[in-house]
Amino acid sequence: MTTTISVIGLGLMGRPMARVLLAAGYEVRGWNRSRLDDELGQGIPRCDSLVEAARAEVCLLMLADSGAVNAVLEQFEPHLTAGQVVLDMGTSDPTYSKAHATRLAEKGIGWVDAPVSGGPEGAAAGSLAVMAGASEADFAQVEPILHTLGGNVVRVGGPGAGHTAKIINQLIVGLTIEAVAEAITLAELSGLDPTRVQAALKGGFADSQVLQLHGSRMIARRYVPGAKATTQLKDLRLAQKLAAREGLNLPHLESTIQFYEMLIARGGGDLDHSGLHTLLSG
Amino acid sequence: MTTTISVIGLGLMGRPMARVLLAAGYEVRGWNRSRLDDELGQGIPRCDSLVEAARAEVCLLMLADSGAVNAVLEQFEPHLTAGQVVLDMGTSDPTYSKAHATRLAEKGIGWVDAPVSGGPEGAAAGSLAVMAGASEADFAQVEPILHTLGGNVVRVGGPGAGHTAKIINQLIVGLTIEAVAEAITLAELSGLDPTRVQAALKGGFADSQVLQLHGSRMIARRYVPGAKATTQLKDLRLAQKLAAREGLNLPHLESTIQFYEMLIARGGGDLDHSGLHTLLSG
């Protein structure tokens, strides 16, 4: 029997993920808080309400932050019954995830936090990195779905571990974007062709998707998200909260947060997170 | 006819590179300033003197820094004749490289700066990233040699462009090591298994050779170089010099230089550059 999936949150990531699941033969229906342009939602069947979305075997959340997840769950949860699984693939605060998992488990409802990295490109290609936090039993229930969406799926630990791993992922991404921004700026001012530098560094220790993909956005001065600067800042603040709880001082995490705050204060909040480059290049 | 190559500098990188060239059928002879343990130099035929090394068609330099290159060239150059090529594959100051290229060109001697990234592992596998600076004609003379050593070979520009690109490479590597050190430390203190986090991040935007290779050195607290912290600091200072010349302020380059200075002041200069992690993890 076909597994039914509701995809709650049809944003930059939710839309391509819903399409990949549809193409793989799942019975998928989407729900979005605000009305979507027909063009954006094209080809994704819709639920009329959250209550209807709550009827799917797997309720996949792809929402902006913990606030949105908490608000949706509040409306949603009374309509869930034992055997269903809530699969939260957005980037949220792991403190909440653990609480959600415990509360849902009491009603026999599964919980998997399985945020992803790889952007809309990775989502459309089904090649995302998926970092999951769940009990082994809950994880097993959604594993085929996760392998449809991801090129690499790893259960990092129990509930919350996926969200924690994703926050750590974002720490690396934010700091790597700053590193690549400094590098591209230096290459340009040194009179090198930055595209040839990118090509020459390929395969060496400096190489990364951030160098090739986000670096190209910097070179072209074309900062169409991808992921917005405001989203990256939200994620880095979650990392800061996590570090503070452990009494840990992470100097480049702190300064990168300041750089994103500066970028957003200058009106760059809706730019791709690679827009950090504009602080250096003017 | 077989091309003859002298490899001048049989250190952590020069040794595996000489062996790869030998295995590919080149006539290779090595020279090292200090006497090498027989075990380290195993299988590499030796020149008795720099003068003898100067007789090869291609004189490949793999030395610690610009000072060593300048000193060797001073002894070496009077013995070179038109048609030979000096191939500098170490990481040096591009200001010197341009001067060397111009001076050698007057005698009909070629110059290629072609530093590499990928460490002793990449050198042994012949999979290095090679970033070259040379005239098209000089580059063409050594291109087959570079393809033997590298998995990716790109001429970035004229003489000095290879060294400049490598300095930019090192900027990214240094800053990525700090990013990964902060991430691994946060993962460990958050109670996650850092090895599972590495595995989960694979293929996403946070993934890199630094996360997988240098990250594993951090997790194991095993900082055998690779590349020494003192070498990384030397390279970052070259980046700082380049940035200063362009009137550019690169904040994370500056702070990473300070972190390496702290590491070295604490006696960690001979650790692998991933030893930066010890500043955070105690």
Same domain flag for A183 and A99? no
CB contact under 8 A, A242 and B186: yes
User: Rounded to an integer, what distance in angstroms lies between the CA atom of residue A119 and that of residue A130?
Assistant: 12
Could you give the maximum distance between any two Cα atoms of chain A, in Å?
A: 63
pLDDT value at residue B147? 98
**Structure confidence at residue A1 as a pLDDT band (50, 70, 90):** low
User: Rounded to an integer, what distance in angstroms lies between the CA atom of residue A122 and that of residue A213?
Assistant: 12
Average pLDDT value for residue range B81-96? 97
Same domain flag for B153 and B178? no
Closest CA to A117 of A60, A170, A179, A57: A170
Average pLDDT value for residue range B165-178? 98
Q: pLDDT by residue (tens digit) across B212-269?
A: 999 999 999 999 999 999 999 999 999 999 999 999 999 999 999 999 999 999 999 9
Average pLDDT value for residue range B44-70? 95
Same domain flag for A24 and A149? yes
Same domain flag for B168 and B153? no
Q: Which of A155, A182, A192 sits opposite B164 (nearest CB)?
A: A192
Residues β-bridged to residue B85 = B58, B110
Distance from the first to the final alpha carbon of chain A: 56
- Indicate which CATH number applies to the domain containing B123: 3.40.50.720
User: Rounded to an integer, what distance in angstroms lies between the CA atom of residue A185 and that of residue B253?
Assistant: 12
CA distances from A234 to A10, A127, B14 (A): 19, 24, 46
Same domain flag for B146 and B57? yes
Residue A193 pLDDT > 70, yes or no? yes
Q: Chain A contacts of B112, Cβ < 8 Å?
A: none
**Structure confidence at residue B2 as a pLDDT band (50, 70, 90):** confident
Distance from the first to the final alpha carbon of chain B: 56
User: Rounded to an integer, what distance in angstroms lies between the CA atom of residue A187 and that of residue B9?
Assistant: 28
- Indicate which CATH number applies to the domain containing B264: 1.10.1040.10
Same domain flag for A39 and A84? yes
pLDDT value at residue A282? 67
Average pLDDT value for residue range A208-223? 98
Higher pLDDT, A133 or A34: A133
User: Rounded to an integer, what distance in angstroms lies between the CA atom of residue A209 and that of residue A212?
Assistant: 5
Average model confidence (pLDDT) for chain A?
Answer: 96
Average pLDDT value for residue range B4-21? 96
Give the DSSP H or E segment for A279. Answer: helix A278-281
Boundary (domain end) residue, out of B113, B141, B157: B157
Same domain flag for B133 and B168? no
pLDDT value at residue B36? 75
Return the amino acid letter for B123: A
Q: A182 near B253, Cβ under 8 Å?
A: yes
Average pLDDT value for residue range B167-179? 98
CB contact under 8 A, A129 and B207: yes
Based on the structure, what is the number of domains in chain B?
Answer: 2
A91: containing domain: 4-157
Same domain flag for A69 and A145? yes
Residue A277 pLDDT > 90, yes or no? yes
Q: Give CA torsion, residues B138, B144, B145, B147, to 10 deg.
A: 120
Active site residue A98: no
Crossing angle (nearest 10°) for helices A161-189 and A194-201? 130
Same domain flag for A81 and A180? no
| Residues listed for chain B | 282
The SS3 of residue B13 is: coil
| Residues listed for chain A | 282
The SS3 of residue A231 is: helix
Same domain flag for A248 and A219? yes
Q: A61 near A88, Cβ under 8 Å?
A: yes
Please give the share of chain A, as a percent, with pLDDT higher than 90: 94
Average pLDDT value for residue range B109-137? 97
pLDDT value at residue A36? 75
Both tokens of A237, joined, read 């603040």
pLDDT value at residue B282? 67
Q: A150 near A130, Cβ under 8 Å?
A: yes
CB contact under 8 A, A204 and B122: yes
Same domain flag for A50 and A113? yes
The ipTM estimated for the assembled molecules is 0.96
Q: How do B116-117 and B110-113 pair as beta strands? A: unpaired
Q: Chain A contacts of B253, Cβ < 8 Å?
A: 182
Q: Which of A168, A249, A273 to mutate: most B Cβ within 10 Å? A: A168
Boundary (domain end) residue, out of A157, A175, A202: A157
CB contact under 8 A, B200 and A119: no
Q: How far out from the chain centre does Cα B79 lie?
A: 26
Q: Which residue of A has its CA nearest to B180?
A: A172
Q: Which of A117, A175, A180 sits opposite B201 (nearest CB)?
A: A117
Boundary (domain end) residue, out of B113, B136, B157: B157
Give the DSSP H or E segment for B180. Answer: helix B161-189
| Other Cβ atoms within 10 Å of B149 Cβ, number | 26
Q: Which residue of A has its CA nearest to B95?
A: A190
Q: pLDDT by residue (tens digit) across A7-42?
A: 999 999 999 999 999 999 999 999 998 877 767 788
Same domain flag for B266 and B192? yes
pLDDT value at residue A281? 83
CB contact under 8 A, A252 and B179: yes
